[in-house]
Amino acid sequence: MAFDPLASIQRFYDAENEFVRAAPDERDIGVMLAELDPDVVVHVPESLPHGGIWRGHQGFATLFDVVVERWQEFEVVYNDTKWNQIDRRRILTEGTLRGVLRADGRPVLMPVVSIFTFTERGLSHLDHFYQDTAAIVCPRTA
């Protein structure tokens, strides 16, 4: 059976959303790691609380420790009709971040675009672009 990058991305997103929703003692990072190249590199905008460049399976696990520390709820919802094959190794996805920040209970709802790059070992590069990182970092004033 041939490798299906779209199915891999869907398994990854499903596992990501389940990981954040799960109780701390029930979280299983291994489901997401199974979709990732061991040398994966994840870019998250530096301006975000979980921003930075995260490398390898250990870096990815550390990223998700930070995500669950900063976010009370964090779910990225993707519409599979918004998945675009850029070339043989890259797929661009369009989605919506639905979250609640742990620090102040502020809800966040915003568009997110991600570019996934694959190797024969799985997802090797994840680049995430948020519409408005300031909306996540800075409280809105009325």
Residue 140 has pLDDT above 70, yes or no: no
pLDDT at 103: 85
Nearest to 117 by CA among 89, 93, 95: 89
Mean pLDDT within 135-140:
73
| Domain ranges across the chain | 5-137
pLDDT at 141: 54
CATH code that applies to domain 5-137: 3.10.450.50
* pLDDT category of residue 96 using cuts at 50, 70 and 90: very high
Beta bridge partners of 130: 112
Interval 112-125: pLDDT, tens? 999 999 988 889 99
Mean per-residue pLDDT of the chain: 87
Q: What is d(CA 102, CA 109) in angstroms, rounded to the nearest whole number?
A: 15
pLDDT at 67: 86
pLDDT at 1: 45
Nearest to 70 by CA among 113, 127, 108: 108
Interval 2-33: pLDDT, tens? 567 878 888 888 888 888 888 888 989 998 99
